[in-house]
């Protein structure tokens, strides 16, 4: 009988504490709120390890405050699952410098310390410039050889249709999610 009453007292105290406004840091792990989804990932290391990560952290914090977005930070030195995800994201890329920003819906990556405009474009899911291109304003269009397309003038709808045909199902879902978010943003 004593054991049951002790458990009920503990349960009542736990329920009462949940009704008071307080941070979730003091709560047990099973009571904490689930993380809210964000398409923006920032792979980093603990502060002080890599100066570029510290600079990018400052830049992302300012961007979050200015634009009201949320970027999920994944510490690859402290979290094994974050390390595995990082390895999948940079898989096959030999130039992967650190830190790495990854957009889940547009599947775009930003490697190393980047300027604020590039990070802002990444956070909005916009098409990032190809850094290997001769002219930064040049855009790479998927599909077709350059020789074939030289004499042909394609309008934007044809290019859009051609690009859609070459997307994987995951990329199509990401593109649709971005389109829905943009439409919701216009309505507000």
What is the reported pLDDT for 106?
Answer: 86
The whole-number pLDDT of residue 62 equals 93
Report the predicted TM-score, pTM, of the whole model to 2 decimal places.
Answer: 0.54
Which residue bears the tokens 């593109």?
175
> Mean pLDDT throughout 101-115?
87
pLDDT, tens digit, for every residue of 34-47? Answer: 678 888 999 998 89
Residues 6+ apart with CB under 8 A from 24: 31, 32, 33
Question: b vs e for 132-141, b when ≥16 Cβ sit within 10 Å of the residue's Cβ?
Answer: eeeeeeeeee
- Contacts of 107-111 with C-beta under 8 Å, sequence gap 24+, read 107/170, 107/171, 107/174
pLDDT category at 9 given cuts 50, 70, 90 is low
């Amino acid at each position: 009988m004593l054991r049951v009453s002790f458990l009920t007292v503990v349960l009542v105290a736990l329920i009462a504490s949940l009704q008071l406004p307080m941070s979730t840091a003091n709560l047990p792990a099973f009571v904490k709120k689930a993380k809210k989804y964000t398409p923006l990932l920032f792979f980093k290391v603990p502060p002080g390890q890599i100066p570029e990560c510290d600079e990018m952290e400052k830049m992302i914090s300012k961007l979050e405050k200015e634009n009201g977005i949320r970027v999920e930070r994944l510490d690859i030195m402290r979290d094994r699952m974050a390390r595995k995800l990082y390895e999948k994201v940079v898989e096959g890329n030999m130039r992967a410098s650190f830190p790495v920003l990854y957009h889940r819906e547009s599947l775009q990556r930003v490697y190393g310390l980047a300027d604020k405009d590039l990070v802002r474009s990444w956070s909005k899911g916009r098409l990032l410039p190809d850094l290997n291109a001769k002219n930064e304003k040049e855009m790479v269009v998927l599909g077709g050889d350059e020789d074939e397309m030289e004499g042909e003038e394609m309008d934007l709808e044809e290019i859009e249709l051609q690009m859609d045909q070459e997307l994987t199902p995951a990329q199509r879902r990401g593109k649709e999610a971005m389109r829905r978010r943009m439409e919701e943003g216009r309505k507000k």
